[in-house]
Amino acid sequence: MRNLNAQNITDAVIEAFSKCPDERLKTVLDSLVEHLHAFIREVEPSEREWTQAIDFLTRTGHMCDDQRQEFILLSDTLGVTMLVDAINHHSSNPKVSESTVLGPFYVADPPMVAQGESIDWNVEGEPFYVEGKVHDESGQPLANVVVDVWQSDSEGFYDVQKELEGASLRARFSTDAEGRYAFWTVTPSPYPIPTDGPVGKMLEATGRHPYRPAHVHFMLMAEGFDTLVTQVFAEGDPYLDSDAVFGVKDSLVMDYTSLPPGPAPDGRSMNVPFRHLKYDFGLKSSSKANTV
């Protein structure tokens, strides 16, 4: 292993891993070395550029703590999160809902809320009634599915980004005997992903905007089914075709229907205009890898 050059160094590094006792680890590292070396051969970075790359990754690491995960944001904005999602969640059954990126604003164990209640604590906005059903792959309703929801407010901020006392626009529901969930909230708006770190600098330097189209996040969990992490986007949103994290799928885009004052779908009488979203979710029977 001497006199290595741009042609033979890749084989030498792979050979150095040859005694790795963990087969999967060896496969991953061999491939990483192969592709990383090919990338370097193609790009031919100057030493200054390579130092800048290391500095970018160092700043990305320094930006991370319990609240902020800049590496996930980097993965999101490079399309890697959605690529991993595509590899791990695909079903040819149209009754199974599609998944998308989790994002950084999920908080475990949100407040449990009764069906049909409002989750718009401490925020103002256009009233929005969201409802639907959860079913299995054959369309049979599923009772007692844990449905976690979270979303931004009408200015594009999540509760964790504001100095709020307690949760807002996030909650947990349990589906009823007919598989139904329902809640009142406010209509979310498009918003920028966090741009105060190296990922924001990368977007700016490359002429990319940081916006995500308006959406409501859902996480559905039920014994015997893969956990579904997804979002429902607003039809007509200007960022549907340029989501900063590549998370939009046609099946997840729905009309957030505008309705005039008057009776709401749950029988409530509204004295202001409001919106309505109806979305049914299909869960896939468990594959071991994705069970909670």
Among 56, 105, 121, 279, binds ligand BEZ (CB under 6 A): 105
Asked if residue 112 lies in contact with residue 149, where contact means CB atoms within 8 angstroms, the answer is no
Minimum separation from the CB atom of position 89 to ligand BEZ (A): 16
User: Where do the H-state alpha helices sit in the chain?
Assistant: 9-16, 23-43, 47-62, 70-77, 80-88, 198-205
Binding to ligand BEZ (CB under 6 A) within 111-150 occurs at: none
d(CA 69, CA 47): 28
Q: Compute how many other C-beta atoms are within 10 angstroms of the C-beta atom of residue 223.
A: 10
Query: In the complex, which residue's CB is closest to Fe ion?
Result: 103
Asked if residue 110 lies in contact with residue 103, where contact means CB atoms within 8 angstroms, the answer is no
One-letter amino acid for residue 8 of the chain: N
Q: Build a one-symbol-per-residue string for 179-208: x at contacts with ligand BEZ by CB under 6 A, - elsewhere.
A: --------------x---------------
Asked whether position 283 contacts ligand BEZ by CB under 6 A, the answer is: no
Asked whether position 210 contacts Fe ion by CB under 5 A, the answer is: no
d(CA 79, CA 75): 6
The partner in contact with residue 104, picked from Fe ion, ligand BEZ, none with C-beta cut-offs of 5 to 8 angstroms by kind, is ligand BEZ
Candidate segments 44-52, 102-110, 114-122, 271-279, binder of ligand BEZ by CB under 6 A: 102-110
Asked whether position 103 contacts Fe ion by CB under 5 A, the answer is: yes
C-alpha dihedral, 264 to 266 to 270 to 274, nearest 10°: -60
Decide whether 182 or 229 has the Cβ nearer to Fe ion: 229
Residues making contact with ligand BEZ (CB under 6 A): 73, 76, 101, 103-105, 193, 212, 245
